[in-house]
């Protein structure tokens, strides 16, 4: 563990990252698995499998260096438009990932959570998620949010509905609704907003990710495709974040 931490510290140091000023909440749009595979003449599923390997590395590194919340966009509400075989492959990879990695994440104190409407995921994915969430619930380390069947707009609509029903049944007063109250009803309720949203794969879009929460997040668009986004690329993104001057609308 100590050796591993020294190795990661060296990666951060090499990239000039100040370990005392790391972001609290990092959110990542893991884009580029398909292209990574296609460029090699391989099936897209192969790219997703490589993508899971990077997911494991980046999660491990985040937890080891002291990131408090890591939110990963693993399956969007729009991803249902993909061919059935690809969706099935992503769900299989999710199940495999949870089966193989929950124990290790648990040992590292990671708390596994989800963002999104997981009741629409296949039963096998729901069952495995439930086991992983239950097992890691009491941990005190990094929160790993897996955004699954997640869409920012539908999250906002769901929050509006929850608040409206609270008002109708009298548990919420109209005059008490403010930005804080509203965000408490989002899937991320109680968590700090992301300090930084990283998107890999060279595209410059938010793609319905954390629309409300990312209001003041620093956006980092990294060229490498997700399967190529290794610890060194992550350190570079963290350095870029530290170079930004966050003003929150002030001067
Ligand atoms: C985008 O690549 C990636 C996704 C659809 C989600 C990310 C999924 C993983 C990292 C693997 C599965 C996740 C878990 C939690 C096991 P893309 O296919 O859109 O890439 P492209 O833009 O090159 O086509």
Q: Is 79 a catalytic residue?
A: yes
For the record, the structure tokens of 77 come out as 């509400």
Looking at residue 250, its pLDDT comes to 82
The total of structural domains in the chain comes to: 1
Residue 225 CA: nearest ligand 1 atom is 23
What distance, in Å, lies between the first and last C-alpha atoms of the chain? 43
Looking at residue 2, its pLDDT comes to 82
Q: CA–CA separation, 63 vs 66, rounded Å?
A: 5
Look at residue 157 and tell me if it is in a domain: no
Looking at residue 251, its pLDDT comes to 76
Look at residue 181 and tell me if it is in a domain: no
pTM: 0.96
The alpha carbon of 50 and the centre of ligand 1 are apart by a number of angstroms equal to: 10
Q: Which residues constitute the domain of residue 136?
A: 21-151+192-242
Look at residue 125 and tell me if it is in a domain: yes
Mutation test of ligand 1: which of 33, 71, 201, 228 has the most ligand atoms closer than 8 Å to its C-beta?
33
Looking at residue 11, its pLDDT comes to 98
Look at residue 10 and tell me if it is in a domain: no
Q: CA–CA separation, 204 vs 129, rounded Å?
A: 31
Question: 191-215, pLDDT tens digit by residue?
Answer: 999 999 999 999 999 999 999 999 9
Mutation test of ligand 1: which of 90, 91, 199 has the most ligand atoms closer than 8 Å to its C-beta?
90
On the CB side of 55, CA atoms within 13 Å amount to: 26
Look at residue 38 and tell me if it is in a domain: yes
Looking at residue 249, its pLDDT comes to 82
Looking at residue 247, its pLDDT comes to 80
**Beta strand pairing call for 25-29 and 218-221:** unpaired
Q: Which residues lie with the beta carbon below 6 Å from any ligand 1 atom?
A: 30-35, 48, 51-52, 55, 74, 79, 90, 93-94, 97, 146, 201
Q: Is 243 a catalytic residue?
A: no
Find the CATH number of the domain harbouring 35.
3.40.1180.10
Beta strands in the chain (DSSP E): 25-29, 69-76, 111-115, 143-150, 196-199, 218-221
The alpha carbon of 38 and the centre of ligand 1 are apart by a number of angstroms equal to: 13
* Closest Cα to atom 5 of ligand 1: 75
Look at residue 58 and tell me if it is in a domain: yes
Look at residue 99 and tell me if it is in a domain: yes
Looking at residue 215, its pLDDT comes to 96
Looking at residue 64, its pLDDT comes to 97
pLDDT in tens, the chain (251 residues): 788 999 999 999 999 999 999 999 999 999 999 999 999 999 999 999 999 999 999 999 999 999 999 999 999 999 999 999 999 999 999 999 999 999 999 999 999 999 999 999 999 999 999 999 999 999 999 999 999 999 999 999 999 999 999 999 999 999 999 999 999 999 999 999 999 999 999 999 999 999 999 999 999 999 999 999 999 999 999 999 999 988 888 87
* Closest Cα to atom 16 of ligand 1: 94
- 6, 15, 18, 31: the catalytic one is 31
The alpha carbon of 80 and the centre of ligand 1 are apart by a number of angstroms equal to: 12
Look at residue 111 and tell me if it is in a domain: yes
């Amino acid at each position: 563990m100590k050796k591993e931490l020294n190795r990661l510290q060296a990666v951060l140091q090499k990239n000039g990252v100040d370990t005392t000023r790391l972001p609290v909440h990092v959110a990542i749009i893991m884009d580029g698995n398909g292209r990574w595979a296609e460029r090699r003449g391989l099936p897209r599923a192969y790219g997703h499998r490589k993508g899971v390997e990077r997911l494991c590395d980046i999660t491990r590194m985040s937890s080891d260096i002291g990131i408090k919340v890591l939110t990963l966009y693993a399956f969007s509400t729009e991803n249902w438009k993909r061919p059935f075989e690809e969706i099935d492959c992503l769900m299989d990879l999710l199940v495999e990932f949870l089966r193989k990695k929950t124990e290790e994440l648990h040992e590292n104190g990671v708390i596994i959570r989800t963002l999104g409407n997981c009741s629409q995921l296949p039963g096998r994915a729901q069952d495995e998620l439930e086991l992983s969430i239950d097992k890691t619930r009491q941990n005190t380390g990094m929160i790993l949010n897996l955004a699954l069947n997640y869409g920012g707009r539908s999250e906002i609509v769901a929050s509006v509905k929850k608040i409206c029903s609270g008002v109708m049944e009298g548990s919420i007063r109209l005059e008490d609704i403010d930005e804080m109250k509203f965000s408490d009803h989002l899937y991320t309720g109680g968590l700090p907003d992301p300090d930084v949203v990283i998107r890999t794969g060279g595209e410059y879009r938010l793609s319905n990710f954390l629309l409300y929460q990312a209001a003041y997040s620093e956006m980092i668009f990294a060229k490498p495709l997700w399967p190529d986004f290794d610890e060194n690329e992550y350190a570079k993104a963290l350095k870029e974040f530290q170079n930004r001057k966050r003003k929150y609308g002030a001067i």
